[in-house]
Amino acid sequence: MSYVKAPAGHFTVLYFAAASSYTAKSCEHLPAPVPALELFAQLEKKYPGIGQKVLSSCAVTVNLEYIDLDGEDAQHKDLVISEGDEVAIIPPVSSG
Amino acid sequence: MSNSAQTTTSNSLPLPDSIPSEPVSWTTDTIHIELTPHALNHQTATTFVSSPSAGATVLFIGTTRDSFNNTPVSGLSYTSYTPLALHTLQSIASTVLAKHSLTKIFICHKLGECPVGEASILIAVSSPHRQAAWRAGEEALEETKKRAEIWKLEKFVGGEGVWRANRDGVMGVRVEDEGMAEETAGEEGNVVASE
């Protein structure tokens, strides 16, 4: 992976398409650790309105794996994003 | 929009890898997957899938259309989460290959600028008989459009752009405004088949 590596104590967030438009960034480093369930709330604080306008239709990957945070039994609801992780905000795709 | 600075993309640089400077590919004897900043060459696709044991080859070429709802489109630009998109395309190709007992499959997507009339995607499949090739070609395209981590920025004449979404019922996010009816203006397919 040739994305810019996060400095110590941080993880990387990649923004694509509408997420990159909204944040005016393609990637940034945020302090780790962060419970996965709190990621969207943190981003909302940084980018007011992003939750409803962008994140509500986005998926999230951590180290190239989609994470499932929806519902009580969600597989990754206890996941903690750690130092060095690569998180990506994945808007609805549009290839072709 | 209360803060238009947050919704413009024009000044947000793509990730270093979202448009790779060189093609990124993955190949086995039967599968070729590629994401490339270069113009697509459909002969590469049909050459890869050709085989003495295949009686049928189906080639799909998706090209950039010149309008969306009568609004002139000047071009498209594609970005991707390249490592994940490659992985997803591998998974789609392997599944379709096995399910339809294909001889070979080739999927290549253009990244970066894609002017009107230029190909954005090539899918070629070969199989012993035509039915499997037709079905597999369509399935590979539909799965790619549904799942591959690739995004289309549609640019209208005059400079405005819209991020499109293929998924039904999901609004594309307009770069400078919101609320445009959703329908993708992406590719208009050309299908060539031979047996």
Predicted confidence (pLDDT) per residue in A56-73, tens digit: 999 999 999 999 998 888
* pTM (2 d.p.): 0.85
Q: Is A90 on the interface with B (CB under 8 A)?
A: yes
Q: Is B52 exposed, middle or buried (0-12, 13-18, 19+ CB in 10 A)?
A: exposed
Per-position DSSP letters for B44-71, written without gaps between them: HHHHHH--TT--EEEEEEEEE-SEETTE
Across the interface, whether the CB atoms of A27 and B5 are under 8 A apart is answered no
Q: Is A16 on the interface with B (CB under 8 A)?
A: yes
Least CB-CB distance to A17: which of B13, B144, B163?
Answer: B163
Residue whose token pair is 């090739």: B133
Domains delineated in chain A: 12-90 (3.10.20.30)
Any idea which of B2-6, B104-108, B172-176 has the lowest mean pLDDT?
B2-6
The 10s digit of each residue's pLDDT in B47-104 is: 999 999 999 999 999 998 888 778 888 888 999 999 999 999 999 999 999 999 999 9
Least CB-CB distance to B170: which of A4, A16, A92?
Answer: A92
Q: Is A18 on the interface with B (CB under 8 A)?
A: yes
